[in-house]
C-alpha cells in the first residue's frame, strides 16, 4: 500500500493551517451561509484530553489522508468524533450494556466489551500510546509518519497487544472516521460538505426524478446540507 505524502505532526499541521485558511477563503463565496468555525488547532475538545486529541488528529489524518483532495482534517473529522463521544453515542445510551460481558468471545458475536465507546477511546488511546512509548519512545502523535503508519497497520491487524475489552478500538476509530467524513455537517464533521463534494454526493436534496432517464450524464449541482447550507 503506497504511503500518503501528507504527514500530521503537530508542527506540520500548524504550518499547514495557513494553506488551509487560504483554501477555505477561496471556497467561501460558494457557500458563505454559516460563519467559519474555530480553527482545529484552537478547538477545545468536549470529551478528549489534550493527549487524546493529538492522537485522534494524527490517527484520522492517517485513515483519510489529505492531499489534492480533502482529508479527515479538512473535514474536521476529529471534531465529529469528539462531539459524538461527548453525547449519547459515547456513553452507549441506546445500547444494551447490562451484560454478561465476555470480552474475549468470538468477534462474530458482536460487541462484547463492557466499556462504552467513550471508554474504549479513553483506555484504548492510553494503551496504544503506552505501547508506542515502550517500542518507539514517544506517544503516537509524535512519531514519524512512517512509524505511525506501521503502528496503525499493527493496530488494525491486532498486533498491538490490547486487553480484549479494548480490541474494538481500531474498528471503532475507522468507522467513526468514515462517519465523520460523510455524515451531515450538523454533527461537526464533513465540514463544508468536503466528503460529499469529493465523491459527488448531492446531500440532503434527495430528489433526482428528472434525472432517472439521463444515463451517463454527471449530475452538475453541488450538495446541500440538512441545515440548508449549499456546497
Partner 1 sequence: MITFLRILTGLVLLGLVVLAAILFMPVRTTPALAALPEDYTPPEGSGEYAMRLADCSACHTAEGGVPFAGGRKIESPLGTIYSTNITPDEDTGIGSYSLDEFRAALYDGIRQDGAHLYPAMPYANYRKMSEADVRALYAFFMDEVEPVSNAGPETALPFPFNQRWGIRTWKWAALSEPGELSSTGDAAYDRGAYLVEAPGHCGACHTPRNLVMGEAGYTAMDGDFLMGGEIDGWTAPPLRGPDSAIRNWSAEDLKLYLASGRNNHAGVNGEMQLVVRDSLQYFTNEDLDAVVAYLRALGDPAAGDNAPPVDPPRTADRLDPSAGGTQAVLTAAEPGMALGPRLYLDNCNACHFVDGRGADQVFPELDGNPLVTAPSATGLIDTILNGAEVPSTTVRPYSLRMPDFGHRLSDEEVAELATFLRSAWSNSADAVTTADVTARRETAEERAAAE
What is the contact surface with partner 1 in residues (CB under 8 A)? 33, 204-207, 209-213, 219-222, 224, 226-228, 230
Whose Cβ is closer to partner 1: residue 154's or residue 204's?
Answer: 204
Distance of CA 163 to the CA centre of its chain: 23
Classify the C-alpha dihedral 185-25-42-144 as positive or negative.
Answer: positive
Whose Cβ is closer to partner 1: residue 172's or residue 204's?
Answer: 204
CB 164 → partner 1: shortest distance, Å?
45
Q: Judge residue 110's burial from the number of C-beta atoms within 10 Å of its C-beta, 0-12 exposed, 13-18 middle, 19 or more buried.
A: exposed
Whose Cβ is closer to partner 1: residue 95's or residue 208's?
Answer: 208
CB 196 → partner 1: shortest distance, Å?
13
CB 218 → partner 1: shortest distance, Å?
11
**Strand (E) or helix (H) holding 61:** helix 50-63
Whose Cβ is closer to partner 1: residue 21's or residue 221's?
Answer: 221
Looking at residue 189, what DSSP letter applies? -
Phi, psi of 188 (to 5 degrees): 105, -25
Q: How far apart are CA 147 and CA 67, in angstroms?
A: 19
CB 169 → partner 1: shortest distance, Å?
37
Amino acid at each position: 500500500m503506497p504511503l500518503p505524502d501528507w504527514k500530521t505532526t503537530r508542527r506540520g499541521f500548524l504550518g499547514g493551517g495557513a494553506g488551509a485558511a487560504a483554501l477555505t477563503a477561496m471556497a467561501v463565496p460558494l457557500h458563505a451561509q454559516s460563519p467559519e468555525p474555530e480553527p482545529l488547532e484552537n478547538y477545545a475538545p468536549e470529551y478528549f484530553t489534550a493527549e487524546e486529541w493529538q492522537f485522534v488528529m494524527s490517527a484520522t489524518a492517517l485513515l483519510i489522508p489529505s492531499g489534492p483532495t480533502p482529508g479527515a482534517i479538512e473535514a474536521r473529522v476529529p471534531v465529529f468524533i469528539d462531539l459524538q463521544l461527548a453525547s449519547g453515542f459515547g456513553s452507549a445510551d441506546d445500547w444494551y450494556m447490562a451484560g454478561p460481558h465476555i470480552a474475549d468471545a468470538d468477534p462474530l458475536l458482536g460487541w462484547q466489551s463492557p466499556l462504552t465507546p467513550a471508554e474504549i477511546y479513553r483506555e484504548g488511546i492510553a494503551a496504544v500510546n503506552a505501547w508506542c512509548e515502550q517500542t518507539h519512545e514517544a506517544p503516537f502523535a509524535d512519531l514519524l509518519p512512517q512509524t505511525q503508519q506501521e503502528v496503525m497497520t499493527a493496530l488494525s491487524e491486532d498486533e498491538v497487544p490490547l486487553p480484549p475489552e479494548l480490541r474494538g478500538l481500531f474498528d471503532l476509530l475507522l468507522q467513526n472516521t468514515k462517519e465523520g467524513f460523510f455524515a451531515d455537517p450538523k454533527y461537526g464533521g464533513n465540514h463544508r460538505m468536503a466528503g460529499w463534494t469529493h465523491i459527488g454526493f448531492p446531500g440532503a436534496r434527495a430528489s433526482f426524478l428528472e434525472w432517472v432517464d439521463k444515463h451517463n450524464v454527471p449530475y452538475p449541482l453541488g450538495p446541500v446540507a440538512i441545515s440548508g447550507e449549499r456546497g
